[in-house]
Chains A and B, each alone.
Chain A
């Protein structure tokens, strides 16, 4: 079985500051990892994903994440926060053998201070 833990239900940073959203996973087989963003009353938009290959993954809107197997982590970062980045972020995991079931973390709400 797979699981995802997002550390921090709410993160607040100043505009222009580094964004770091933490995600740790648990999986008995090689995981596929995702970060999704959700704006109020909307569905989810895929930011980036890791399946195999390069462990540093670049996504949309300047976000990136690094898969660290030794730390079972997949933290999301962005060098400089914009006001438009304020949203809910979900880390998620699946595996090839799980029939595409995606398990979501509890979410982290990102607030941006002017």
Chain B
């Protein structure tokens, strides 16, 4: 149980285009999902917290107009990188908190999406 998937696993796009990444909780409902960014050989940096049915909360320094987050249902959150540039190339990882779990501290992580902007 507690599986989180991401799609696509890898994406290559041209500079100036937009890319959408999906994060799904497969066997549980997630009221809260998180989006992280990871540069090579570095740690995960929280970008934003996504709550179902409400606007995402962005961390300081993250451009909300560039990284659009939508949490339309209890099992799906999407991250859209708009007008992507080479500096947006990174590994994007989502995580989800199980709504039905008495343990509110555990997040389940997706396998990540490697974005390369040419």
- Contact surface of A with B, Cβ cutoff 8 Å: 32, 36, 41-46, 49, 51, 90, 94, 96, 99-107, 109
Contact with A along B75-118 (1 / 0, CB 8 A): 00000000000000001010101000001111111111010000
Can you name 10 extra interface pairs (CB under 8 A) apart from A100-B34, A101-B34, A102-B107?
A: A41-B91, A42-B112, A43-B6, A45-B109, A49-B106, A90-B44, A96-B104, A100-B107, A104-B43, A109-B41
Min distance, Cβ B62 to any Cβ of chain A, angstroms:
13
| Given known A-B contacts A90-B43, A105-B43, A106-B42, A100 and B104 have beta carbons under 8 A apart | yes
The reply to whether B97 and A100 contact each other, CB–CB distance below 8 Å, is: yes
Which B residues are CB-close (under 8 A) to A32?
105
How many angstroms from the CA of A35 to the CA of B54 in the assembled complex? 30
The reply to whether A43 and B93 contact each other, CB–CB distance below 8 Å, is: yes
Question: Which interface class (under 10, 10 to 19, 20 to 34, 35 or more) fits B?
Answer: 20 to 34
- Contact surface of B with A, Cβ cutoff 8 Å: 4, 6, 32, 34, 41-46, 49, 91, 93, 95, 97, 103-112, 114
The reply to whether B106 and A43 contact each other, CB–CB distance below 8 Å, is: no
Contact of A101 among B49, B91, B108, B109 (CB under 8 A): B49
The reply to whether A44 and B106 contact each other, CB–CB distance below 8 Å, is: no
Residue of A whose beta carbon sits closest to that of B114: A41
Which B residues are CB-close (under 8 A) to A106?
42-43
The reply to whether B112 and A100 contact each other, CB–CB distance below 8 Å, is: no
How many angstroms from the CA of A56 to the CA of B5 in the assembled complex? 31
Interface-central residue, A99, A102, A107, by most chain B CB under 10 Å = A102
The reply to whether B93 and A44 contact each other, CB–CB distance below 8 Å, is: yes
| Given known A-B contacts A100-B97, A106-B43, A43 and B104 have beta carbons under 8 A apart | no
